Structure formats: C-alpha cells, structure tokens
C-alpha cells in the first residue's frame, strides 16, 4: 500500500488533452461522417455508407504507414462501419437495414469481451489513446479495474443488442430508429458514468492520484 501511495497517473495538460481527444474523435467519427454525407449527396444512402467505410479504412492505412500503430477507437469504428455497410449494401432490405444496429452492438460486445481477460483490456487502450492517460507502473489494482470496466462495456453492448432486437420485432421503423438513438445515448451515458465512478473509487482505494504532465 505504501508503494501504491507513491504512484500517480498522468494526463496531458488541458489544452493538449482536448487536442488529443478531439483528434481521436475526429478521425474515428468525424471523417467517416463527412465521407457519408459527401457520398450520399452524390449517390444516395448506399454510396454514403461505402464512402464512409472507404474513408475510415484510408485513415487506418494512413495511421499504420505514418505512425506504425492504429488507435483502438479507430479500429472499432472501421470494423463496425464495415459490418453496417456490408449489411446495408448486400441486402438492400429495410429489415436488414434495421438489423445493422443490433449487429453493430453485438460486434462491440464481442470486441470488448475478447480483450477483457487479457493483459491489454480495451478500456485501458482507449484511455491511453483517447485521453493519453499514462500509468507507468502498471498498477495491478488499476489493471483489474480496466479489465472489469471492459467487461462492463461488453455487458452494456450485450444488453443493447437484446433490447434493439426486441424493439426491431415489436415497433414500427420510425419508432425503432428513435428508440435506437435513445438506447445508444442512454447506454453510453450510463457506461461512462459507472466507469468514471468506479475509476475514482479505485483511485481512492489504492491512494493513486491523477496529475497533469509538466509539459
């Protein structure tokens, strides 16, 4: 415990933190959305989905070539968008268009669950990449938190998958799309709140502190 109390976690200074998080969100979400709207303007929904997928995979390739690594959030965006695009374009059916939403959540559930018991749980990777959280000592208590938080998100996406599947079978298309938005936002907010609450409890328990980097 005395050893743990001497440790700390480090975040970049606020302006750099916002820049790092903003850049990750822009390349993982902003660029594909921009690609979708450009493609849709020229060729409709299918062209928009295809343009978004091409955009995100070009970003993945660019990251790999120039930085030798691909952020986890970008990988998630590429895999989920590829799944959605394949479902929409190959089937061309309203039913399968709606099916992309529970399938995307199922894919995220599997992705989080696959990494949860490993030495590199996905939540830890995202914390390091999106907000540049540094944990030089690899504290075992914090590692268990990241594993548990990754299982938490896997469970949230599993619950969302089941909920969306039920809604798809029982509601009209318009109502389903509205409820899909509510479920997605609600699940994200709940998961973020629970993860943050759990994180700060872990910090207090092990005497860890978060501080801003000197530069």
Average confidence (pLDDT) over 96-121:
87
Say yes or no to pLDDT of 213 above 70: no
Say yes or no to pLDDT of 112 above 80: yes
The ranges assigned to domains in the chain are 2-212
Residue-wise pLDDT for 47-66, tens only, equals 988 999 999 999 999 988 88
Say yes or no to pLDDT of 7 above 70: no
Write out the chain in H/E/C secondary structure.
CHHHHCCEEEECCHHHHHHHHHHHHHHHHHHHHHHHHHHHHHHCHHHHHHHHHHHHHHHHHHHHHHHCCCCHHHHHHHHHHHHHHHHHHHHCCHHHHHHHHHHHHHHHHHHHHHHCCCCCCHHHHHHHHHCCCECCCCCHHHHHHHHHHHHHHHHHHHHHHHHHHHHHHHCCHHHHHHHHHHHHHHHHHHHHHHHHHHHHHHHHHHCCEEEECCC
What is the predicted pLDDT for the residue at 127? 83
Average pLDDT, the chain: 82
């Amino acid at each position: 415990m005395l050893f743990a109390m001497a440790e700390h976690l480090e975040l970049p200074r606020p302006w750099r933190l916002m820049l790092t998080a903003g850049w990750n969100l822009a390349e993982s979400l902003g660029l594909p959305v921009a690609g979708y709207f450009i493609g849709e303007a020229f060729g409709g929904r299918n062209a928009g989905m295809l343009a978004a997928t091409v955009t995100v995979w070009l970003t993945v390739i660019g990251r790999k070539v120039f930085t030798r690594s691909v952020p986890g959030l970008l990988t998630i965006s590429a895999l989920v968008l590829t799944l959605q695009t394949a479902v929409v374009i190959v089937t061309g059916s309203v039913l399968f268009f709606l099916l992309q939403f529970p399938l995307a959540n199922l894919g995220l559930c599997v992705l989080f669950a696959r990494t949860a018991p490993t030495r590199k749980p996905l939540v830890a990777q995202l914390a390091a990449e999106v907000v540049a959280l540094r944990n030089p000592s690899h504290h075992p208590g914090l590692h268990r938190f990241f594993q548990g938080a990754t299982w938490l998100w896997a469970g949230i996406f599993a619950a969302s998958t089941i909920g969306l599947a039920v809604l798809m079978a029982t509601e009209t298309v318009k109502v389903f799309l509205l409820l899909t938005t509510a479920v997605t936002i609600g699940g994200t907010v709940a998961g973020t709140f629970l993860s943050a609450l759990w994180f700060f409890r872990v910090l207090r328990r092990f005497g860890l502190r978060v501080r801003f980097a000197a530069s």
